[in-house]
Amino acid sequence: MPNNTLQIAHDINDIKVNKRNWSSYNEELVVRGKLYFDFDYRSKWDDELKQMNNSKVGVPYKFPESFIKLMAILHQYIDYRGLEGIARKLADYELIPYFSDYTTLWRRIHDFKPELDRPEYKEIEIASDGTGLKTTNAGTYRLDKYGTRKKNKYIVVVITSDVRTKKLLKMDVYI
């Protein structure tokens, strides 16, 4: 029986309601952290690089697409130089063979195009939602004190998905 039950008390002020099952919520947070640092890319690093560089003209890739995807996820919270620091530490722990510089990460993340699966049935019920992200990490205090206040630029991300299957149909990004 779950802990999300109303406990009976003698006084109306003593009624306690457990609003959340903390053990399952804690496990959800742990699983989310496992997704942020998914090191499965390491086991297929060499095979993925061989496949990517098979018919490539020019300088071969040094980092597989799965590693760049991990860095792109982390870039939501960390700037590119911070990502280089993370890559250096991963190389120190021998989780990756060598680290990348932030310009390589910048180029690969900006060239990355996510793959979207489109449904095959004719009638689709979709939902769309958007959000804005600031493009600078500078705090307003620092901008007010040391720099000129410019109009903040935002990246607007609009996601469209199928309501029935919960699959992503379209993703638009505007600056």
56 within some domain:
yes
Looking at the structure, do residues 73 and 96 belong to the same domain, yes or no?
Answer: yes
Looking at the structure, do residues 94 and 136 belong to the same domain, yes or no?
Answer: no
Q: What does the alpha-carbon distance between residue 161 and residue 110 come to, in Å, rounded to a whole number?
A: 23
13 within some domain:
no
Residue 10 has pLDDT above 70, yes or no: no
3 within some domain:
no
Residue 52 has pLDDT above 80, yes or no: yes
Domain holding 44, by residue range, is: 22-111
Confidence class of residue 135 from pLDDT cuts 50, 70 and 90?
Answer: low
6 within some domain:
no
154 within some domain:
yes
Looking at the structure, do residues 104 and 131 belong to the same domain, yes or no?
Answer: no
Q: What does the alpha-carbon distance between residue 139 and residue 127 come to, in Å, rounded to a whole number?
A: 33
5 within some domain:
no
Q: What is the pTM of this model?
A: 0.51
Looking at the structure, do residues 101 and 141 belong to the same domain, yes or no?
Answer: no
